[in-house]
Amino acid sequence: MKILVTGGAGFIGSAVVRELVANTSHHVVNLDCLTYAGNLESLTSVAGSDRYAFERVNITDRQALDRVFSEHVPDAVMHLAAESHVDRSIDGPGAFVQTNIVGTYTLLEATRKYWSMLEPSRQAEFRFHHVSTDEVYGDLHGSTDLFLETTPYAPSSPYSASKAASDHLVRAWQRTYGLPTLITNCSNNYGPFHFPEKLIPHVILNALHGKPLPVYGDGSQIRDWLYVEDHAQALVAVVSRGVVGETYNIGGHNEQRNLHVVEAICSLLEEMAPHEKAKSLRHYRDLITFVKDRPGHDARYAIDAGKIERELGWVPQESFESGLRKTVRWYLDNRDWWQRVLSGAYRLERLGEQQ
């Protein structure tokens, strides 16, 4: 297939692009507008492939989308482009409405126009795969409840509300127009090339710089953690073999309290980078600082990923312990990548190219 991946320079999107180019025979068109979270340096390993192309396009730009469809003639769309940081959505929800709702609508309409003009055999094979989040379900207060594909939506933040809206749009385009869509809802991702504002990379880099490690409230919030490369493999399985109109939940079977995640990172750094600890510290965990809780903070997320295991044969390969060890090691071994992100150099060079 030739697959159009939106948001392919982001954290999860770049993992999907790397997986497709490195481990399949598919061709990939990476469509990304390169906001602060888009980083082409995450794709250096595949950028030279003759099966890879890049288009700098915003998903709200209908004219540009029509051009991309016409020129590249994809067999599938994997839609990952989104604003995704909860704190940013609380401070400025407008961008989330524009990208996640208006952008998804615009992409759906461009896709529908393109799909409607395909030969019947290609129409039947075409797929629009929308990648979403478990946060659309709200939170779980029981200790054993799990999110199912049929769990009612109850989003808590502007981010999750905008993703819930985009999910509804995708389902409506499938019901109303027959567009062959699939939806996946995933748990918290972590791993290499993660933008440093998110919890795990933020804690790793703050610890290495001797800065406070902020923990919301008492750190009792529970998340199900999914290694990003496991997620990428699941997404490829869904776009390749998933049933049109179906939703698949993707989780790592790794529930952890936020405080435990921070403490586990500190323990790994004590083992892997003891010499980098600030001289004023006895232990990295001495940097842990409890801060005022986030407004509307969900208590617990946990996914039942049984459907994708039964129907598509996907199971995560990494435990939380093995995945977190790989993640900490990656950040220790790839300082150039995150130092250029922290300094803004990855964006400054991009601005220079435009002038």
Residue among 38, 129, 56, 135 at smallest CA distance from 89: 135
Within 8 A by CB and 6+ apart from 293, the residues are: 216, 217
The catalytic site residues sit at 134-135, 159
Sequence-distant (6+) residues with CB within 8 A of 303 are: 134, 146, 147, 185, 186, 187, 224, 249, 250, 251
Burial string for 187-220 (b: 16+ CB within 10 Å, else e) reads bbbbbbbbbeebbbbbbbbbbbeeeebbbbeebe
Helix (H, G, I), strand (E, B) or coil at 245: coil
Asked whether the CA dihedral 13, 16, 46, 204 is positive or negative, the reply is positive
Q: Is residue 340 packed enough to be buried (19+ CB in 10 Å), middle (13-18) or exposed (0-12)?
A: middle
Query: Among positive and negative, which fits the CA dihedral 91, 94, 98, 100?
Result: positive
Angle made by CA atoms 227, 27, 333, in degrees to the nearest 5: 35
The Cα–Cα gap between 314 and 250 comes to: 9
| SS3 state at 284 | helix
Contact call for residues 132 and 183 (beta carbons, < 8 A): yes
